Amino acid sequence: MTYETATFLAQFVRHPFTVGAVWPSGPALARDITAPVPRTGHPVVVELGPGTGAFTRTVQQRLAGRGHHLAVELNRVFAAHLARRHPGVDVVDADAGSIGALLDVRGHRYADVVISGLPWAAFGPARQRAILSAVTGALDPSGVFTTFAYRHALVLPAARRFRRLLATNFEEVTVGRTVWSNVPPALVYHCRRPVRPAAA
């Protein structure tokens, strides 16, 4: 067992409802979920719920020193681990719902790509809505939001509710292939053209 996996497991035992998974994601899922990170230019990439960094490494490889990679992690142990492992990543120990304010203080109006590792199916309706609306508000109109779901959990009411919420928050939602090699198997939602609530 790697240090990352042991850390992940230990944090799951302590915080099952926010960690939301027993095992970190694998490299094939990391490739699919980070695919929208452009290989040119200087994009602003935000990772929500990076955990022990299963996607972080792949984002860093794709960026190759360009742009700004902000990682927002609620769990202090994960955030400290990530900051040690990835000195090139701007790691913040904060709630994903504060994405807009975090971008603001860094001088960014929008993120070009938002990648989520958040356990949406473990969140109640209000939390799902609040974080997703923070994401749509922080995403560039031509930006991309990716997030994953476990295949076996798609039938759960919270997962179905989240899928419906995606459809109301983005004009386009495409569902990627099932990554059977991931433990457990998972798929990626690719969401484009955020729908922002009309200003009052």
Ligand X SMILES: C[S@@+](CC[C@H](N)C(=O)[O-])C[C@H]1O[C@@H](n2cnc3c(N)ncnc32)[C@H](O)[C@@H]1O
| Nearest distance in Å: CB 152, ligand X | 14
Our CB check for ligand X shows the closer of 101 and 171 to be: 101
For residue 151, what is the DSSP state?
G
Strands in 111-116's sheet, in edge-to-edge order, are: 90-93, 68-73, 44-48, 111-116, 139-150, 186-194, 170-179
Nearest C-alpha neighbor of 7 from the set 60, 70, 69, 50: 50
Our CB check for ligand X shows the closer of 70 and 166 to be: 70
| Nearest distance in Å: CB 33, ligand X | 8
Binding residues vs ligand X (CB under 6 A): 18-21, 24-25, 48-51, 54-55, 72-75, 78, 95-96, 117-119
| Burial class of residue 70 (count of CB atoms within 10 Å of its CB; 0-12, 13-18, 19+) | buried
| Nearest distance in Å: CB 126, ligand X | 12
| Nearest distance in Å: CB 177, ligand X | 17
Token readout for 54 is 């299963």
Our CB check for ligand X shows the closer of 42 and 152 to be: 152
| Angle in degrees, 0-180, between the axes of helices 76-85 and 3-14, rounded to the nearest 10 | 160
Our CB check for ligand X shows the closer of 53 and 67 to be: 53
